[in-house]
Structure 1
Amino acid sequence: MNKSSDPVSTNAAVATDVEQYLVRDPETFALNMARTLENLGKAAAAWAAPRENGDVHDSVAEPVADMVKTFSKLTEYWLADPSRALEAQTRLFAGLITVWQTAAHRVSGVEGVEDVVKPERGDKRFLDEEWGKNAFFDFLKQAYLVMARWSNDLVEHADGLDEHTRHKASFYVKQIAYALSPSNFVLTNPELFRETVAANGSNLVRGMKMLAEDIAAGKGDLKLRQADNSKFEIGKNIALTPGKVIARSDLVEVIQYEPTTDKVLKRPLLICPPWINKFYILDLNPEKSFIRWAVEQGHTVFVISWVNPDERHGRKNWESYIREGLQFALDTIEQETGETEVNAIGYCVGGTLLAAGLALMAQEGDNRIQSVTFFTTQVDFTYAGDLKVFVDEEQVQALEKAMTDRGYLEGTKMAMAFNMLRSGDLIWPYVINNYMRGKDPMPFDLLYWNSDSTRMAAANHSFYLRNCYLENNMSAGRMTIAGRNIQLSDIKIPVYNLATKEDHIAPARSVFLGCRYFGGDVDYVMSGSGHIAGVVNPPSLKKYQYWTDGKPEGTFESWVANATETPGSWWPHWHKWIESKDSQLVPARRTASKLKSLAEAPGTYVRVRV
């Protein structure tokens, strides 16, 4: 007799399957449930206390109201035509009935039954074998996937929606779908269920304790821990490249790095990182440090380290950031080295500021920057990706109102927005690991940096949102700084414009489109991977690839189709490009040879945490 059709064997297997979900020590389990509720109460208190004291004023109503309004527009389309609504409902019911029939066949022992729908490739939520082996969990999985895809189809096939509303609806549907996934709950996730039973609920006790700690650390908001931060200390095992702070303003510290070669390129290199994150993403550790690698290639490297703003910086706008940041750094380089010709790099919003500064300086006759490299930088925001979901007139007004009293936006707000862009990777896996499993996250330098959030100065952030995301003024020539309408076409120096293929913040297509607005020669390069890994990709790792094809002309799709793919890091390609502009060498420059050293690298501003 076939073993699978043997009733005794089948009953034994079912019994074994069931046993793994049975509580073996009810007394201990009950005690741990009580402790879990106690810790959950502490989490609630940590959330409520700052609000009762007036330290936190929620702006939750605005995003929730925007989501409701967006879904209302979507609902209007489907309910406007009863036959259309009925057709949509029929598709959902048909899918769920098929899932039910599939589950019934499997319970009856029918072999070779195919799933109605399968998770997308790369979806790690349903890897446990019980999602397919156990009829209950298999039904939950397939019903969830059917409903999630049906919801997405409602957005995709809703004619008459403007593109911004469609974009928002698609984003919100995705967020809700991730939040409601059965993988996120103990009773509907077989792996979590087994672990909870095996541990008699002690995992939930630890998890709720961590939740209370993280809300307290966020001063009333959840500061989701993505890495074991106790394993890292800036200047001890992260941001280690030797150098000195040689100048300081209200907004920046300027760091000069020690040379490691006898000769260096005559033109110093100034790096303008984003103020939304801290600069040491380019100096995580010696193996992955772009700064260290650039020094080893013979660059005299200077880096702007932005202040973590507080109420004193509330009125600092883009002109302030250009004058007291970018031009202050150029003045510092000139004083320290005597050089009036500099190569510059701008990363993300640091690159957007650098582009604005270059256009302003071109009108003012300041031509010290002779070549510019942009890392994942947008100057046109037509295709700016999912961050545009958070930017429309009502949302910007609400944000400006929230920033008015304090003079800044809390770093946790911006960090959560960025995490939501990849919530399936940056939110829910950590919610499950930390608060359901009760496990500490692993030590990971990149995620330590990701959690080291910075505040946004009110005037600066408002200018950025309005002029870039909301009104797209920069590429249109409508951006006004220091009383001047700046024009990107005034930037006639050579441009190396790096995009990354899987970027969710500065999409490669958006960066490509921005190339057409510069007034000089532009080399567009696309690296493999995303916004961080595609940039921080040292040659020694031999990872990913990059594409080159000369001038960024025609459509983005045609450029990609005809581009030349090269394995490995783009860093050496960039260095050759720099040398092609000016390869003159001079004796290596020691740090703080003319200016006084104010601190050892990485300085003091970078150490301020929120």
Structure 2
Amino acid sequence: MTHTSFTELKNSVDRVIHALEGRLTQGISPASLTLAYLDWLIHLAHSPGKMSELAENMLRKHQAYQVWSARAAVDPQTAPLIEPRAQDRRFNDPAWAKFPFNAIAQGFLLHEQWWHYATTGIPGVSKHHENVVHFAARQWLDMLSPTNFMSTNPKVINRALETGGNSLYQGMQNLLEDLQAYTLGAPPDCSEYCVGRNLAATEGQVVYKNNLIELIQYSPKTQDVYADPILIVPAWIMKYYILDLSEHNSMVRYLVEQGHTVFMISWHNPDAEDRDLAIKDYINRGVRDALKAITAIVPNRKVHAAGYCLGGTLLATTAAAMARDEDDRLGSMSLFTAQTDFTEAGELMLFIDESQLSYMEDMMWDRGYLDTSQMAGAFTLLRSYDLLWSRIVSEYLLGECPAMSDLMAWNSDSTRMPYKMHTQYLRKMFLNNDLASGRFIVDDRPISLRDIRVPIFCVATETDHVAPWRSVYKLHSLVLTDLTFVLTSGGHNAGIVSEPGHPRRSYRMALNRAEDKYIAPDEWLNRFNKQDGSWWEPWSNWLSERSGPRVEPPAMGNPEAGYAPICPAPGQYVFEK
């Protein structure tokens, strides 16, 4: 055996071990967590001043808590000692205001505050490790919250008394059904929602197909249409039809009804054979091939491209390469919750460092792709209260049966990401920030977002955990063109699926011209007021102003140019499991 082959064998052994570990840890690197913990612990041990402050803080808070508890036991009107954070909904129920449950809640909030102080502000600890330790402490506290236990949650106790224990019985039934489904590997029951029937049901035709995409052209719903077509580039991390959900909240249907000709990319769900698909393939066989088909079907017109999440990042990358090469087929670019600068990419950065990426690469090497189940651990931890603990309380302790929705059905329709592409994306985009820094290579040459000259419509959402709005806002510093920025209510998905008529929706919107001075994000937030309603309406108007005159709808496909209709929408790739 040669030295090279022996080295490859040893590397393969390491990768297999890491891949097996990753299945147990949900893709989280034990080494990364250990390094963060040791960094915090060693610097804390060498900070006697900080430790004395922590001891004094604990003593003072406990003394105040004991006095408050004694007063609260005899006076129900006693004001809380500690107010929960604005986004903390765990103790909103009025039952938590009564003794002894108010004392239980206040005691927990006291310890939560103390641990925040203990895990932050330690001199010498790297910011990344501090964030990891603080995040890990928060996960333990979320798990130990009194809301999660029957004996300390007054809402659970009251419900059990009101139902004669039936809520607990129903909760046990829910738990057993979930355990059975998990053991058998059964997907959630989404029979109420069916792709092609009441999901992804907007009429259209697949007019182009390769080994990575199907391109859907949607049928017109108006007698005349705007001359310029729209191309939507969705993220490949999930199925495209989040933008074509039910009839009432389908973005595609809304645009078609406004008179736009809409094309949509539907991505192939990669498997082990696609392990070597790279970002360049998603650019060339994805966006570029789609643009080539559209310009053959609707010739001599500009294309207004819109990208969602990873699809937006890919679109911005492609648009920069097109601008560099003086390719002027784009008329505008719209980006939805899409990051282009990853220096402040939110809590996802907790899982992005050299140790974590090496670990994840070994997990993907094992199968040739990253499965959604391997990403589930990180995303669940980011929103542990919403995605885990609140569900445990409502379904297993309160006995509530969750109602399925179209968005939940879509969310359970998982996809995979190929080894090479995802490795490049995490290293070049997230870890090295090559796109924002002008180092990202397309066709053997670097690209710069500053070359983009088409107008941009950029949407961010207020409570986004995946693409925080201040991170999305950084696009202002990267481009030299007119940029309309919208900040809408909601999160990463629900904020985008925000159809007109949706209750309690609002947004802020402002235009920053190429010659205008930069406005910091917090100043922008204070300067522009909220408007009630859906951002879809101003976006549709923005597109209409740039989409040319109304003309007869184009034919479905162009057989003479090699783009004959292949099959009805939603195509075949959307059904791949």
- Asked whether the two chains share a fold, i.e. TM above 0.5, the reply is yes
Give the Å deviation of 1:57.
Answer: 4.1
Counterpart CA distance in 2 for 1:410 and 1:183 is 32
1:128 to 1:528, Cα distance in 2 relative to 1, 3 A: closer
Amino acid at match of 1:212: L
Q: Does 1:215 align with 2:185?
A: no
Partner of 1:424: 385
Amino acid at match of 1:281: I
Instruction: Describe how 1:197-212 pairs up with structure 2 within 5 A.
Output: 198-199=164-165, 202-203=169-170, 205-212=172-179
Contact 1:239-1:602 at 8 Å conserved across structures: yes
Counterpart CA distance in 2 for 1:303 and 1:408 is 24
Q: Unaligned 5+ residue runs, structure 2?
A: 1-16
Counterpart CA distance in 2 for 1:62 and 1:576 is 44
Q: Does 1:474 align with 2:435?
A: yes
Q: Secondary structure at the match of 1:301?
A: strand
Q: Does 1:446 align with 2:417?
A: no
Q: Secondary structure at the match of 1:561?
A: helix
Amino acid at match of 2:306: I
Q: Does 1:603 align with 2:571?
A: yes
Counterpart CA distance in 2 for 1:104 and 1:530 is 41
Partner of 1:3: none
Give the Å deviation of 1:245.
Answer: 1.6
Q: Number of residues paired by the alignment?
A: 549
Q: Does 1:568 align with 2:533?
A: yes
Partner of 2:29: 63
Give the Å deviation of 1:405.
Answer: 1.9
Give the Å deviation of 1:416.
Answer: 3.7
- Once the two structures are superposed, residues 85-114 of structure 1 have per-residue CA deviations (whole angstroms, 9 ceiling, x without a partner) of 13202322432344344444555x455444
Q: Does 1:459 align with 2:423?
A: no
Give the Å deviation of 1:151.
Answer: 0.9
1:252 to 1:64, Cα distance in 2 relative to 1, 3 A: same
Contact 1:258-1:590 at 8 Å conserved across structures: no
Contact 2:27-2:374 at 8 Å conserved across structures: no
Amino acid at match of 2:565: S
Amino acid at match of 1:276: I
Partner of 2:13: none
Counterpart CA distance in 1 for 2:55 and 2:557 is 71
1:439 to 1:527, Cα distance in 2 relative to 1, 3 A: closer
Q: Does 1:527 align with 2:488?
A: yes
Given candidates 51, 62, 81, the residue that maps to 2:47 is: 81
Give the Å deviation of 1:265.
Answer: 1.4
1:437 to 1:526, Cα distance in 2 relative to 1, 3 A: closer
Contact 1:207-1:437 at 8 Å conserved across structures: no
Counterpart CA distance in 2 for 1:93 and 1:602 is 63
Contact 1:59-1:402 at 8 Å conserved across structures: no
Contact 1:229-1:443 at 8 Å conserved across structures: yes
Q: Secondary structure at the match of 2:485?
A: strand
Partner of 2:232: 271
- Once the two structures are superposed, residues 405-427 of structure 1 have per-residue CA deviations (whole angstroms, 9 ceiling, x without a partner) of 21111112224423332222222
- When the two chains are superposed, the root-mean-square deviation of aligned CA atoms in Å is 2.7
Give the Å deviation of 1:429.
Answer: 1.4
Partner of 1:24: none
Instruction: Describe how 1:53-202 pairs up with structure 2 within 5 A.
Output: 57-59=23-25, 62-107=28-73, 109-110=74-75, 112-135=77-100, 137-193=101-157, 198-199=164-165, 202=169
1:585 to 1:114, Cα distance in 2 relative to 1, 3 A: closer
Q: Secondary structure at the match of 1:315?
A: coil
Partner of 1:21: none
1:431 to 1:590, Cα distance in 2 relative to 1, 3 A: farther
Partner of 1:34: none
Amino acid at match of 2:298: T
Q: Secondary structure at the match of 1:173?
A: helix
Q: Which stretch shows the higher mean deviation, 298-307 or 500-509?
A: 500-509
Q: Percent identity, please.
A: 34
1:143 to 1:64, Cα distance in 2 relative to 1, 3 A: farther
Give the Å deviation of 1:119.
Answer: 2.9
Contact 1:267-1:339 at 8 Å conserved across structures: no
Given candidates 314, 338, 342, the residue that maps to 2:299 is: 338
1:355 to 1:110, Cα distance in 2 relative to 1, 3 A: closer
Give the Å deviation of 1:551.
Answer: 1.1
Amino acid at match of 1:275: W
Contact 1:259-1:590 at 8 Å conserved across structures: no
Counterpart CA distance in 2 for 1:421 and 1:62 is 13
Counterpart CA distance in 2 for 1:575 and 1:194 is 49
1:321 to 1:564, Cα distance in 2 relative to 1, 3 A: same
Contact 2:22-2:363 at 8 Å conserved across structures: no
Counterpart CA distance in 2 for 1:427 and 1:307 is 30
Q: Secondary structure at the match of 1:147?
A: helix
Given candidates 213, 219, 230, the residue that maps to 2:191 is: 230
Deviating 4+ runs (over 6 angstroms): none
Instruction: Describe how 1:283-298 pairs up with structure 2 within 5 A.
Output: 283-298=244-259
Counterpart CA distance in 1 for 2:464 and 2:141 is 22
Amino acid at match of 2:572: T
Partner of 2:359: 398
Q: Secondary structure at the match of 1:387?
A: helix
Contact 2:297-2:555 at 8 Å conserved across structures: no
Q: Does 1:583 align with 2:551?
A: no
Counterpart CA distance in 2 for 1:61 and 1:335 is 44
Counterpart CA distance in 2 for 1:62 and 1:504 is 18
- Once the two structures are superposed, residues 392-412 of structure 1 have per-residue CA deviations (whole angstroms, 9 ceiling, x without a partner) of 011001000110021111112
Give the Å deviation of 1:345.
Answer: 0.3
Amino acid at match of 1:264: V
Contact 2:275-2:418 at 8 Å conserved across structures: yes
Contact 1:62-1:395 at 8 Å conserved across structures: yes
Q: Which stretch shows the higher mean deviation, 488-497 or 57-66?
A: 57-66
Counterpart CA distance in 2 for 1:416 and 1:284 is 26
Given candidates 311, 318, 325, the residue that maps to 2:279 is: 318
Q: Does 1:557 align with 2:522?
A: yes
Give the Å deviation of 1:383.
Answer: 1.7
Partner of 2:268: 307
Give the Å deviation of 1:255.
Answer: 0.8
Flag the structure with more relative contact order, 1 or 2, with Cα contacts below 8 A and sequence separation at least 6. Answer: 2
